[in-house]
Amino acid sequence: MKTKYKDLTIWITGVSSGIGAALAIAFAKRGARIILSGRNEEKLEAVKKRCKRANKHIIVPFDISDANQATAAYLSVKKQAGKIDWLINNAGVSQRSLIMETTEEVERRIMEIDYFAQTRLTRLVLPDMLAQGSGKIVMISSVAGLLGTQYRGAYGAAKAAIHMWANSLRAELHDQGIEVATVFPGFIQTNISINALTGDGSTQGTMDDATDKGLSASAFANQAVKALTKGEEYIIVAGSKEKLATRVNRISPPKLYKLIRESQVK
């Protein structure tokens, strides 16, 4: 059944830049009305201007890690848009620090943003989707949530947790008209490594070489939108090396981790 985007209202978090901005632009191009959320209203306005039919889209800025702000944002979206057809949980923060150099406070912060904030917002939206008998929840996980690598212990754990949570949600809602999809990006050319948290909670501030050589955000968005349009539920959007690693992991995890140990992953 063909997706009629002109009839859809899609709420996307983490839209200030990177893949969130690219997804907003790609879905707007296909005719959907976009709810753009993130912490920086000025950046959200800039992304909105890049969206086709900019005047039809809505900006709702908030800090997703703040439960009160999340509730207020949901109520604002519901009031302004009237409905939410798709929720794309994209907001998040990455990590670049060894486990033994990372404080528990930083690990909890990563888990709060990358896991609890996502599940919280989903639970706010789901009752309306269940009442209308339709909807799609999309979780942006990561290839790091499928493979454990150096410098991403808490990040990989949070992304794996959201992946498993989405699997359970899919099983629970399969007969109630709600679709659940998980997207696993590999290295994408965004500010993710610049904004990544180090062991003491400060940001790394530099671009990783692998990230800089990754897929463009627009290429990611085009592939992800195409897969979501087809109704795919488990979507890996990554370069050939990352895709190969996920296949090796399914066949022989010990072999993969031997390769990871020998590589210079950061």
Residues marked as catalytic: 155
Q: Are 225 and 27 in contact (CB under 8 A)?
A: yes
Give the separation between CA 95 and CA 195, rounded to whole angstroms: 8
Grouping H, G, I as helix, E, B as strand and the rest as coil, residue 116 is: helix
Cβ burial, residue 42 (10 Å; 0-12/13-18/19+):
exposed
Alpha-carbon distance of 246 to 264, in angstroms, equals 18
Q: Where are the alpha helices (DSSP H) in the chain?
A: 18-29, 41-50, 67-81, 104-111, 117-132, 153-173, 209-212, 217-229, 240-251, 253-262
Burial of 111 (0-12, 13-18, 19+ CB in 10 A): middle
